[in-house]
Structure 1
């Protein structure tokens, strides 16, 4: 307990400072526009009042986020490893990956709605695509930048096929792959709001968008805070998994 407090007291102090600063700028001295920047005196009651809706929206959002992100990780890592290892394939396909990944995912939304049979499938596709490109790109980069000595040693020891993949290639590229997965996870939350703007009747992004349309900025701020807390919680869990998987590389 004492160790955890020593490691995280700085985080707590910064959080208290931010809350205090916001309170001073809103409820205390009204430096910020009270219509847009609703103070804690109104946000906290709104948070308590809407807690049921928020957690209902969380479950709805996870139904979109989990399958989309999981599919992006599986396909992004699998294809990235293959493209990274096969030089002719990488040389010929990399320009197309660069071109396609440059297209903003939000612009593809109308096409996704038209192509897919349901709004749910279209929403999952939008989130998947946004997460897929960073994972694919970082996986290719991770494989390409593996120290050649590792591959030479594997060849000397006659390590081939799947054994080479899981004992040499993936462990060596893992730090870069995890970095891409982390970026993709954060980006997925941004796209969640976009995906829930069409055809959704609940969800964290829908909650923010719905109350924003009615200029209920107290509820909008509640939605922002809730999404931020959920993302922080997920990232803490992600970092725990990463630390366990990359214990041999991290200096924490």
Structure 2
């Protein structure tokens, strides 16, 4: 019986690898070969994959070195950026969900606040940076504010849409059961709007990661954005390529983490 179960698991793993691992792996190999071919000539201005690997090998195998100041490994650079994202995104979740519930539940609030939100969300994230630097007089809170103001809009909009789209049957059940405001919020509103909320959270965390990389190029200090800008000033193109790869991988992991939590909370009804 155990042999049959083991064979079934092996079959399932093989099927998963065939359907989900092999296609992107094949595409990645083709892209790397194409990249190597396009940058192998003597006149190529960008480094080839093999050159990037050879020139950044020390950064890859030792990501957590610390020589003092801003001269630290890419592991510390990414962790510094993630710390800023964690603060800014958490604030955006708290404020965004609260305002989204208010706008979705109250027609008066929607009429008063929604036009303002629609105007403010069109402002590019980096346009807020000079204002935040003037207000906070320090780079870290300024970067956190840029993340906050970037991530909050999709959270507000998706939460408000989710609250407005709660089925009338759910509202009737709440009336029949005579639920108070807190019980309605925790047992009806949040579970029903959760798929919309987590869709907004996924958009927000992606925008947060984009915003911090761009903001750190301007504010300096330790962070993956500043690392990219410093590598450009030093003409270290291979280091820029490696940093971009790490940025993409971390952004993908952040999205998958929010999607995983969303699927657990909504029991698979949120977009994956």
RMSD: 2.2
Distance 1:202 1:8, change over 3 A: farther
**SS at 2:101's partner residue?**
helix
Question: For the residues of structure 2 that align with 1:112 and 1:44, how far apart are their CA atoms?
Answer: 38
Residue in 1 that maps onto 2:126? 106
TM-score, normalised with respect to structure 2? 0.84
Residue in 1 that maps onto 2:45? 35
Offset of 1:58 from its aligned partner? 1.4
Residue in 2 that maps onto 1:15? 24
Distance 1:22 1:220, change over 3 A: same
Residue in 2 that maps onto 1:166? 186
Residue in 2 that maps onto 1:26? 35
Q: After superposition, give the CA deviation of every residue in 1:205-224 in whole Å (9 maximum; x if it has no partner).
A: 22222212333221111001
Q: Which of 121, 127, 133 is the matching residue for 2:153?
A: 133
Match runs of 1:46-85 below 5 Å: 46-51=55-60, 52=63, 53-85=73-105
Q: After superposition, give the CA deviation of every residue in 1:211-247 in whole Å (9 maximum; x if it has no partner).
A: 1233322111100111111222222222221121111
Question: For the residues of structure 1 that align with 2:232 and 2:49, how far apart are their CA atoms?
Answer: 18
**SS at 2:217's partner residue?**
coil
Distance 1:5 1:214, change over 3 A: farther
| Residues 217, 228 of structure 2: 8 Å contact kept | no
Where do 5+ consecutive residues of structure 2 fail to align?
Answer: 1-8, 64-72
Higher relative contact order (CA 8 A, sep 6+): 1
**SS at 2:209's partner residue?**
helix
Q: Which of 6, 15, 31 is the matching residue for 1:6?
A: 15
Question: For the residues of structure 2 that align with 1:183 and 1:8, how far apart are their CA atoms?
Answer: 28
Q: Which of 129, 135, 153 is the matching residue for 1:115?
A: 135
Compare CA radii of gyration and give the structure with the larger one.
2
Question: For the residues of structure 2 that align with 1:28 and 1:198, how far apart are their CA atoms?
Answer: 34
Where do 5+ consecutive residues of structure 1 fail to align?
Answer: none
| Residues 146, 172 of structure 1: 8 Å contact kept | yes
| Residues 85, 143 of structure 1: 8 Å contact kept | yes
Distance 1:137 1:4, change over 3 A: farther
